[in-house]
Structures are given as structure tokens and as C-alpha cells.
A and B are shown apart, each in its own frame.
Chain A
């Protein structure tokens, strides 16, 4: 079984897995990192959204062989450390707005929101309704409205 090396939540990791094993199963089944959730396996529900080098990515669609040793994978578990705090401002906004219902999609929602705010900030503009409409993560509990409020509030503090 081949070995694969990449950075995960700030640490270098090496795993034995088939080349085409999707990163989601490397994280969940081999490394025991369960924050990213399975919701479809075909990159449409976005429940597994994490970051690769700071941008939103979906591990269910990434063969582990595609990662380079220097690639930084950040899951919800590693998000607070990116700002050197117990909670990332977006997580705090999620708590303040009491967004969570069942919570299953929320790690992915938060990771997608952080990436969106970074992207919009790089473009030097405020978040628009169209940006929020463009968030593709499914929430079957229907927390969308509070997500919109939380993304805006979290962006203020990022």
C-alpha cells in the first residue's frame, strides 16, 4: 500500500492508502478525523467542506495521491488554530446566532463561509446577497437564514 504525506491541521502526516482513496475516507476511516461529514460522496452536498491551502475544498472528490507533502489540509478541528484561538470568529458567530439545529452540515458550512469571506476580502469588497446565494452547502434542517446572518457577523470579526 503506497504512503502519502501531507500537512493536516498544522502537522505533517503520512498515511498508507491506495492512491485513489478519497481524502474524506483517509481523514475519517484511517486518521479518525470526523469533523468533515459524508452527505453525498459526489461533491454536491458540501458537508465535507474543508480547506486545502486555505481555500474551500471537498475531500470526497480528492484522491489522496493528488496532495503534495506541502499541501495544508485544514478540517473544522484545525480551524481555530489558524487564528491562534480556541474558536475561529466564524465559529463564534455561529454560536452567537445559534445557527445549529442537528449540526451535521455545520462544520462544512463554517469552512465554506470562512473561505467565502477570505475570497471576498481578497477581491476587496463586502459580502453581497449574491455571494450568500452562492453557498452551495445543503442544510436539511433549513438553517439558511441564520447562516446568512452568521456569515455576515463572522466576516466583521475576521
Chain B
């Protein structure tokens, strides 16, 4: 999705340098072409100092307004809403919707990030923003994850690669305000002029050798009343931290086993809890034959029927697994009763929107692609801790939409929102999964039912079979061409409905009236916003049709892009072939924009495009732009039988991607090291989606029950040669990165497979037609725990 640069923190027209301006201001007010009023600065921003015993500064985190074309749609600027005195004292400043930075007496700086860290590295990049603007060492910045804060409305949602886009400016504003306050306090303490002071590495020094640390100033710089102040932010040329490779600040905790995920927390009396789940998707409990018998099993404290199955609470998860397997439950059919891949495909075909008549007398290419269900599971299973009492509830879970979770849990429990505390824990991966809070809701229900705290964990089989899936979809593409011109490009994407009910929708529905897409449904709006045509392909149209809401779906590192782009790029390859052009040169000639051509040319150059390859192997390139970012990838694939058929126990080998060169331009890069990691992960997802990863739907349930059935990329599928190229920053603001790499990678692997085998793949993943495992039983719903561990020690 395209999400506009943070509108609320845009130009502050009419503000000039004045005596009240914070001394932290670092650059003269500059004229800027984009400024409404020539000659007035646009990099000045408003922040706050809050009333507190030590220094607390703040900024508003505003709505990230989506637009089809960034910067075209006007939004209300904060400066249009306030009196433009540089410093105002507010009698009753509404501070609840602010994000705050605190300076502590020990010289550390802390910030509670209203987002979920699920591996994407945002705590590190956030610490970098603060270190940059506040001139403190990175290791003195502590970033934690904020509890659910309903007052932030939809500004506490982690999704759509939007975190850095929407927090980049407000976090720096708060840090810059703190810097200014510290300098002012230091001027008094050192009896020096502010202009003679330097803040470096957390210490302020004057011209005559005097110095004072920011910890010592934490109280002196504090304010007894809330104030609004204006600050300037550093210019890109001044950056010393932003844009430099930085290792993750949470890595030490992770590699020592000290990093705490939800199931690692020690909440008093929160005992292991699991749920016996139905054999078909969303089935319901009919009756249970042996509740008392299972209650009497060793370690089991509670057993009870809940809305999603039969919950058991025990001393250990091992005992929970035994109890779940022992339950004898009769089930009512689920939402997808009787459905299969074949029946869903039929439904998708029937729901496809018309693609129109063929243009007369012009040649064209056309294909329909099928994309099967894919599991949304992270490695950390779906889980949450809940402690529900009669008058209050406390929840711990890795949540990307904690406000919606809090509201839903309060409603389910019949408690006021204020009585429900929702803690956001570190998440063990998400890929869209943690946008849903089903585990938190379920844990709350069970804790209420049992009257005890519970540590709820889904078994892996639960995640695979009752969890979220990327919806099955088809994409029909037709392109007409004549000579060296592409006359038109039409794409009709038809998908099982994607559940966007987690609140991502709020952003759009709230702003839908402003969008140039007319009165159409939300997912159609989302589709239009997130999909673009980067090539000069004449008249083009893309339409989405969604059908069948009976599945538990979700976005998975991209809602529509990976499938839509994969289909598009395969047709691009076919167009190039029809027109007798090299696939790289064809793309370069038709791509719009210098940034786009630059990444494509970069991968061709570094990846040695066009080198001679043995039969059965091939190169391919693909391109994708989204979130104000552009990406291109070159892959080499080996589809020779000796590679495809190499033996791997309980795994899918298949073609091997042997080399990947990926170039990315996110506008402004905050942390190149982290960005590289994000791209690498996206490449692995792209490989999986094209070659190995899918769910098979049969008789209303998915056959896959664990990681030995669901073939996400493994070491034996990993390209031995992988190079990520982070392009030099091309803009002043960061674009999105979290989901970016998946689409181009998936497409390039598909194109390479087509070129290596001489047959364009049309159904994904390519191995979906072959079931590479023996399905596990659905009753009992979880497999027995093995006992032969010591036989496999190596």
C-alpha cells in the first residue's frame, strides 16, 4: 500500500525563527520549492515538553493518510490547527495522543514505541532516529513496546511496511525538542551561551572545558508545565547515525536466549493451556464424551468447552498435549465444510470480472495464473497470556493491532476498556499473522471460564490447520501490443476474501472519501492503492474481485502484491519474447522513472546479466515498486534433474535458486544493515511462494499440520550466492521495506523457472500438484510427541 508521508508533520507554514524558538534548532530556515509560501521553512516542526520531574518531550503521531499518488492530496497540517506562536504554554494540553521520549538521571533515554517488533528491526531503527537527533550513543537509548493505547486510534497498527514511514518524523521531533531543552539547561548550568555549547555522545561541553552529561541535566531540563515548541530537524547531510549500517540492539538478548517472547514470561499462576480444535476449519464443539476423565489426567487442572474448541490447562504443555489427544469430542462442521482446492478454484473462476473483448487486429498475450493457499504461520506459534478477574483483565501477546485487540477483549469480557490492560510482547515473527489477535481473545475467554490465569499456546498443527492463510487467488492478464509498443495491459485478480478486519481498514475507511477511487468497496480501494503499473504499457486496468469469506485469511508479507506482480512479470517476459527483445532491456525501455531504471540496471550489471548458462539453468529479472520504494532482482535458477532430484529427508528439494542479486531504493535508508536483512527475508519468501510453499485444501481442512508438511524455504533451498545492494538515498524520507522484497523475488524466480524449463509456470507453487508428505490425522487434532529424541542426537 502506498501510505503518504506523514502529513501531520509536513510543512509548518508561516513559522519563522523567533526568540522563543528552541535553541536546539540546528539549521537556518530554508526556502523549499515544495513550501506553500516561498521563503519560509518547511523542516520546522512542532513538538512538546511535558510536565514531569525529569525531561519528557513529545510529538504527535498523526494519521498516515494514504493516497494513490503521494503528496497530491491535501491533508490538514498541524500548523493550520494551532496558533503559530513558536512557544505556547497550554493550560490543558491534551497529551494523551503523544509519543514521548524521556531523559533519565542515569543518562539514558527511553521511548515506548507504539508498534510491534516482530523481527523487522524497528526497535533498532527507532533507537537510531533518537540517537541521531539527540546526539546520544545508541546504547543509551532504550526502546520498549508500548501497551495498547486506544487514544492513538489507528496510529498503533504495525502493518503495510508503514512503521518507519509514519514514525520517522515524530520520533525525531520529540528527540530534537529534548536536545534543545538539554542545551538550554546546560547553558544555565555551565553559565555559557547556548551557541557556544556542543552536544556530543550524551555530553554537553562549552568552549572553556566545562562539561555536563545529559543525565545530570535530566531534572534541570524538565518542565513544570506543558509547552508547545518548534524545532528544526537535522538535514540529511548532517546525519551521523541514520544511513549507517547498525547491528540490531536486541541481538545479544536473542543469541543468549534471554530475549523474552510471550511464552517465556513468568506471570504468576499462568499455567500452560491448549485447545482441542475441530477437524475442519472453524468447526464447533457438539459434545464432549469424557470431560471428567480428562480432568483427572496427571497435571490437568481445568478442562472446559469454549467457543473454538475444548480448552485444557495443566502443569506443563506436555500434559496439555496428552489431554488434548485424550478428549473425545463430536464436532459440528466448519465454515469451509466440503470445500477443496478444486471447488475454490471453480468459485474463483466464476467470480472473475470481465476482461473485455480482444482488441481487433492486434497481437496479444494472455494467461491465467493460479496461486494456492499459503500458511501465515510464524515460527512462534499463536499464543497469549491472560489473567482475567471479575473487575479487570491483563493480557500479554505479540500484537500488531493492540488497540483493536483491547476493544474486542473488553467487549467479550463485558469489561470497560479501561479495565483491560494489553501488553505488547516481543513477537517471534509475524508476516501478517500478528495483525490478528485471536490467541489473545481466546486466552481471555479461557481465563474467564476457568477463573485462573492461563498461558495459551497453539500447537503447531493448530496454527497450520486453523490459523491464517494467504488467500487462494487467480490472476488473469492480457496485454496487447503492436510493433514495439504495448498498447494495453489488463489484469483481473480474483481472490478468496482477505480478512482485513484487524483495523488496517480503519485507516482507509476513515479517509476513503478523500481518495480518487469513487464509491467502491474497501478491499477494492486497498487494491488500487497498493497496486501500480510501473511500465509504459498504454492503457492499463487492474480490477479485484473477492469471493468466499469462509476461510481464516490474512495478508502475508503483502496483501495482493506478490501474486499480482508475479503474474505481471511473467507476462512481461512473454511480451518481451513475442517482441523479440531481451527481458532486461525490454523492462528498462518500458520502466518509468530514474529510480526504477537505476535498480534494474544495477542488478543486471552486478548479476552479470546475459552470461552464458548451461541448459536447464537460467537467469531472470523482475521489478516491483511499492511503499515509495523501488526494487529489482536478478536470479539464477538450476532446474537440472540432478539438482531437482537431490535427496533430502522429509523435505522438498526441487529447482534451486543459485544466485540472487537484489537492489533496493527505499528513498532514505535509516539502517542499511537492517534493510539488507529485510530484503534477504523477502527473497526467501519469494523463493518459497514460487517453488515449494502451499496449503492443500481437502474436505474442508488443510492437509498440512506442521513444518515437515509445509515447505517454507530451508537451508537446502537457500541461494548460496546472495547479494543485496542498498542504493544511495534518493529522497529525504524513508519508504517502506517490510514486505517489499517478496513480490519481485517471487516473480523473478517464476520467470527464471520459465526460462530454464522453456515452460512458463501458471500455477503456484510449482510443486502444488504433487503432495510431498503423508497427511497427519485430524482427530486427535495434534500429533503425539515423539519419544526417540536420543536416537537422533548428532
Contacts and interface: CB of A to CB of B under 8 A. Distances in A.
B554 interface: no
Given A39-B707, A104-B380, A142-B682, A87 B789 contact: no
Interface residues of A, number: 78
Given A42-B785, A61-B788, A100-B254, 20 more contacts: A18-B319, A28-B317, A29-B272, A29-B316, A32-B266, A38-B317, A39-B460, A41-B459, A41-B785, A43-B786, A56-B794, A77-B256, A95-B252, A98-B247, A100-B250, A102-B378, A104-B378, A133-B718, A140-B429, A142-B683
Contact of B254 (A77, A106, A129): A106
B427 interface: yes
Q: Which of A41, A43, A115, A148 has the most CB of B within 10 A?
A: A41
Contacts of A63: 787, 789
B333 interface: no
Interface of B: 118-121, 247-248, 250-261, 263-264, 266, 272, 298-299, 315-319, 321, 377-381, 426-431, 457, 459-460, 648, 650-651, 673, 677, 680-685, 706-708, 712-716, 718-720, 722, 782-783, 785-790, 792-794
A102 B251 contact: no
A138 interface: yes
Contacts of A133: 648, 715-716, 718
B712 A44 contact: no
A57 B681 contact: no
A76 B786 contact: no
Interface of A: 1, 17-18, 20-26, 28-30, 32, 34-45, 47, 52-53, 55-63, 66, 75-77, 80, 87, 91, 94-95, 98-107, 110, 115, 119, 129, 132-148
Given A55-B794, A56-B793, A134-B715, A100 B429 contact: no
B708 A42 contact: yes
Contacts of A104: 119, 261, 378-380, 428-429
A28 B320 CA distance: 14
Contacts of B459: 41
Contact of A143 (B256, B257, B430, B681): B681
Given A100-B248, A142-B680, A61 B789 contact: yes
Contacts of A148: 715, 718, 720
A101 B381 contact: no
Contacts of A94: 251, 255
Nearest to A98: B247
A2 B25 CA distance: 69
A138 B714 contact: yes
Q: Which of A23, A45, A104 has the most CB of B within 10 A?
A: A104
A58 B792 contact: yes
Given A29-B272, A104-B428, A138-B714, A66 B684 contact: no
Given A45-B379, A142-B681, A66 B255 contact: no
Nearest to B245: A98
Given A94-B255, A141-B119, A103 B789 contact: no
A87 B428 contact: no
A41 B790 contact: no
By Cβ-Cβ distance, the 3 closest A-B pairs, closest first, are: A35-B257, A102-B119, A142-B684
A74 to B, nearest CB: 11
Contacts of B258: 35
Nearest to B246: A98
A38 B263 CA distance: 9
A44 B247 contact: no
A115 to B, nearest CB: 7
A101 B677 contact: yes
B244 to A, nearest CB: 13
Given A41-B459, A91-B255, A102-B118, A140 B379 contact: yes
Contacts of A53: 793
Given A42-B708, A61-B787, A148-B718, A110 B379 contact: no
A136 B718 contact: no
A42 B715 contact: no
A61 B266 CA distance: 24
Contact of A45 (B253, B266, B460, B785): B460
Given A103-B250, A107-B257, A142-B682, A25 B120 contact: no
B738 to A, nearest CB: 11
B460 A40 contact: yes
A41 B460 contact: yes
Nearest to B791: A61
B677 A98 contact: yes
A138 B379 contact: yes
B681 A141 contact: yes
Contact of A60 (B261, B426, B789): B789
B315 A57 contact: no
A138 B247 contact: no
Contacts of A34: 257, 260, 263-264
B457 A38 contact: yes
9 contacts: A39-B379, A76-B256, A77-B257, A100-B255, A103-B253, A104-B261, A138-B712, A140-B429, A144-B715
A60 B673 contact: no
A106 B255 contact: yes
A60 B784 CA distance: 11
B262 to A, nearest CB: 11
A130 to B, nearest CB: 9
Contact of A110 (B255, B318, B380): B255
A134 B794 CA distance: 12
Contacts of A144: 684, 713-715, 718
Nearest to B254: A103
A36 B264 CA distance: 10
A60 B786 contact: yes
Contacts of A87: 255-256
Given A105-B379, A140-B429, A29 B317 contact: yes
A72 B107 CA distance: 43
A25 B377 contact: no
A95 B260 contact: no
Contacts of B794: 55-56, 115, 119
B256 A102 contact: no
A22 B683 contact: no
B790 A66 contact: yes
A53 to B, nearest CB: 8
A20 B785 CA distance: 10
